[in-house]
Amino acid sequence: MEGKPKITVDGLMKAFYKKQGSVIALEDISLTVAEGEFVCLVGPSGCGKTTLLRILAGLEQPSVGSFTIATETNNRPLQSMVFQERGVIPWLTVRENVAFGLKMRNLPTAFINERTDFYLKKTGLERFASLYPKELSGGMKQRVSIARAFANDPEILLMDEPFGALDEQNRFILQEELLSIWAETKKTVLFITHSIDEALLLSDRILLMGAQPGKIIEEIVIDMPRPRKMEDVRKDPEMATKFIEIWRHLQEEVLKSRE
Amino acid sequence: METQELARNKSFEVEQREWKLRQRKERGKQLLTIVSPLFLLVLWEVMSRTGILDIRFFPPPSKIVQTFYDMIVSGVMAKHVGVSLYRIFIGFLAGVIPGIIVGLLMGLYSPIRHFVQPIVMALMPIPTLALLPIIIILFGIGDLSKVVTIAGSVFFPVVINTAAGVLNIDKIYLDVASNYQTSRWNFFFKIALPGALPVMLEGIQMGQAIALLTIVAAEMMGATSGIGYLIWTSYKAFLLPEMYVGLILISFFGYLFSLILRALQNKLLPWR
């Protein structure tokens, strides 16, 4: 891993308190993500990957430990999150949704319009700009969510299974669109998925997580040259080996959690 | 080859015939909907003219329509309707506006909710009409006592629905707002208010219906004008056609108000 560290997580622990006692969701998580790196967190459901992302997004407080997000200029928001399917606000039009982060920061209107137009165009949403989300397909809604996060121009992007609810064709299309926008902006991305294919296609590095309590158990570097296409990933024998490696790890974790 | 063609044409024809039949049935149902109230009116007319219905209690609809017309011409109608509409309008606003404000505060701030909720729950089951004697003592027999009575009745459904509307906003939108560093002000106007609006408008719709119920009853006691007064005095003087005119007015305005509120709902909630 080269480049300056952008996200540094140090000894993070998170416990949830319930009626029956406390549950440790994350245990001693330490990781660094370099500037401009695309990192996927892969793990079985319930391994705390969403909790980790929510802590970085400022939506939860860690019980122990800390994290830092390196900043260069101080007029940029630290992070923006692309949420799972329902994150698009239904009472705002596509345009207002994309402009949401910028508007909340009270930036000049001309600037907001320019930036919004740019990302509407980039994500192919121009024609739908004045529609409300109810009129959009699932794939289009996630495009809105992605455009909103990129338009906000944060230091890092956090993505919580943004394509989880899409059908396979749409998923492939959006993955490639995401990669092309990412390649232009060179943002640092931390991306959650439970799809191994998705992780292999997108990542520079995959962090495998184990469950109960959630911890990082393995790191896999994906050095396949970019730009990548799904066909190339499927054809590459080295990637096939990596797929099986990850698959075995996840299976172990799932079996362990059944005991 | 030709027989195949023929068979195809044949089946197409059958399909078309079936489609026409379905359309005719559909039209038939619409006709039934229009005919049913007319049928009832004709039946009423015939029965009260032939003496099957007691004409003293059920004057024929034609007589009621005649009375309706006479009351418009004499200006009596305008006076009563004007007074009632004025009271409903002011009372409705005086109930809805505080209802929205208190409801939003309850939904947004849980200490306020925990403090106010028991009071609202305790006061809600008391019919405002049961308090009418006290209201008349306090506010007199003029417009003010009616306005207060209506406001008191409208307030509760609006408060409860507004608070519920805020509380039912999907948590993910709160996360989105917090992730994009929404200020308190923006949170209120971009998330809480529009998110609560659908349920809030249901409460206002309910309040509207209650306002009409209340005005009639409130004007029956200690009033000198209004639709409720018209109904009550006509009844006491045994002027039943006039009383029926009053009932028709209430029915008409109830229908009109819900149409207006539906239109408002469609206008305010284009995203639904």
Report the CATH number at residue B227.
1.10.3720.10
User: How far apart, in whole angstroms, are the C-alpha atoms of residue B228 and residue B76?
Assistant: 13
The answer, for B178 touching chain A at a CB cutoff of 8 Å, is yes
Q: What is the mean pLDDT of residues A127-137?
A: 94
Those residues whose C-beta lies under 8 Å from the C-beta of residue A202, and which sit 6 or more positions away, are A38, A40, A175, A178, A179, A191, A193
Say if the Cβ atoms of B180 and A86 lie within 8 Å: no
Say what the pLDDT of residue B12 is. 86
Could you tell me which chain B residue has the CA closest to the CA of A100?
B180
Angle of helix B227-236 relative to helix B240-268, nearest 10 degrees, comes to 160
Mark whether B82 and B178 lie in a shared domain: yes
User: What is the rounded CA–CA span in Å between residue A29 and residue A47?
Assistant: 12
A152 CB neighbours in chain B (<8 A) are 180
Among the partner residues B170, B186, B271, nearest to A132 by beta-carbon distance: B271
pLDDT tens figures, A141-155? 999 999 999 999 999
Band (pLDDT 50/70/90 cuts) for residue B160 is very high
CATH homologous superfamily of A81-155+172-188 equals P-loop containing nucleotide triphosphate hydrolases (3.40.50.300)
The DSSP code sequence of A116-170 is: HHHHHHHTT-GGGTTS-GGGS-HHHHHHHHHHHHHHT--SEEEEESTTTTS-HHH
What's the pLDDT band for A259 if we cut at 50, 70, 90?
low
Rounded Cα–Cα distance for residues A130 and A31 (Å): 41
Establish how many alpha carbons lie within 13 A of residue B209's alpha carbon, considering only the half-sphere containing its beta carbon: 10
Q: What is the mean pLDDT of chain A?
A: 91
Reported as a single tens digit per residue, the pLDDT across A87-96 is: 999 999 999 9
B183 and B218 housed in the same domain: yes
Q: Considering only CB atoms, which chain B residues are within 8 Å of A79? A: 179
If asked whether residues B86 and B32 sit together in one domain, one would say: no
Work out the percent of chain A whose per-residue pLDDT is above 90. 71
Q: Answer yes or no: is pLDDT of A1 > 60.
A: no
Q: What angle do CA B186, A90, A193 make, to 5 degrees?
A: 100
pLDDT above 70: residue B2: no
For residue A84, give Cα distances in angstroms to A154, A162, B50: 19, 5, 71
Contact B245, B67 (CB under 8 A): yes
Does this model's pTM top 0.80?
A: yes
Percent of chain A, pLDDT > 70? 99
Asked which of B37, B58, B79 is the last residue of a domain, the reply is B58
Q: Do residue B76 and residue B101 come from a single domain?
A: yes
| Mean pLDDT of the region A217-227 | 90
Same-domain check for residues B182 and B210: yes
**Residues B6, B129: one domain?**
no
CB pairs under 8 A between A and B: 53
Cβ of B183 within 8 Å of Cβ of A104? The answer is yes
Q: What's the pLDDT at A155?
A: 92
- B185 and B88 within one domain: yes
Residue B19 sits in the same domain as residue B148: no
Q: Which residue in chain A has the smallest CA separation from B192? A: A91
Which residue of A lies nearest to B195 if distances are taken between CA atoms?
A91
Question: Does the distance separating the beta carbons of B179 and A105 come in below 8 Å?
Answer: no
The answer, for B175 touching chain A at a CB cutoff of 8 Å, is yes
Mean pLDDT of A50-76: 90
The arithmetic mean of pLDDT across residues B199-224, rounded, is 91
- B191 has a chain A CB within 8 A of its CB: yes
**Distance (Å, whole) CA B103 – CA B112:** 10
| pLDDT tens track for B235-246 | 999 999 999 999
What is the tens place of the pLDDT at every residue in A164-173? 889 988 899 9
Please tell me the total count of domains within chain B: 2
* Whole-number average pLDDT of chain B: 92
DSSP-assigned states of every residue in chain B: -HHHHHHHHHHHHHHHHHHHHHHHHHHHHHHHHHHHHHHHHHHHHHHHHTTSS-TTTS--HHHHHHHHHHHHHHTHHHHHHHHHHHHHHHHHHHHHHHHHHHHHHHHH-HHHHHHHHHHHHHHTTS-GGGGHHHHHHHH-SSHHHHHHHHHHHHHHHHHHHHHHHHHTS-HHHHHHHHHTT--HHHIIIIIIHHHHHHHHHHHHHHHHHHHHHHHHHHHHSS-SSSHHHHHHHHHHTT-HHHHHHHHHHHHHHHHHHHHHHHHHHHHH-TT-
Q: Give percent of chain B above pLDDT 90.
A: 77
Q: How many residues does chain B have?
A: 272
Closest by CA position to B244, among listed B125, B32, B96, B71 = B71
Residue A2 — pLDDT band, cuts 50, 70, 90?
A: low
Asked whether the predicted pLDDT for residue A74 surpasses 80, the reply is no
A232: Cα separation from own chain's centroid: 22
The DSSP output letter for A213 is T
Between chains, do A86 and B175 touch, taking CB under 8 Å as contact? no
Are B81 and B52 contained in the same domain?
no
Q: How many residues does chain A have?
A: 259
Q: How far is A3 from chain B (nearest CA, A)?
A: 27
Supply the DSSP string of A175-209, one letter for each residue. HHHHHHHHHHH--EEEEEES-HHHHHHH-SEEEEE
**Which among B2-11, B133-142, B166-175 has the top mean pLDDT?**
B166-175
Residues B46 and B120 in one domain: no
Chain B interface mutation, best of A54, A78, A91, A150, highest count of B Cβ atoms under 10 Å: A91
Distance between CA A6 and CA A69 in Å, rounded? Answer: 6
Structural domain boundaries enclosing B7: 1-58
> Which residue among B16, B36, B58 closes a domain?
B58
Mean pLDDT over residues A29-41, rounded?
94
Tell me the pLDDT tens digit for each residue of A159-208: 999 998 899 888 999 999 999 999 999 899 999 998 999 999 999 999 99
pLDDT in tens, B132-157: 999 999 998 889 999 999 999 999 99
Same domain, B24 and B125: no
Give how far Cα B262 sits from Cα of A221, A231, B259, Å: 58, 53, 5
The residue ranges of every structural domain in chain A are: 81-155+172-188, 204-259
User: What value does the mean pLDDT take over residues B65-85?
Assistant: 93
Same domain, B46 and B66: no
pLDDT at B35 over 50: yes
Residue A93 Cα, gap to closest chain B Cα (Å): 8
Nearest CB to B176 within list A87, A91, A134 = A87
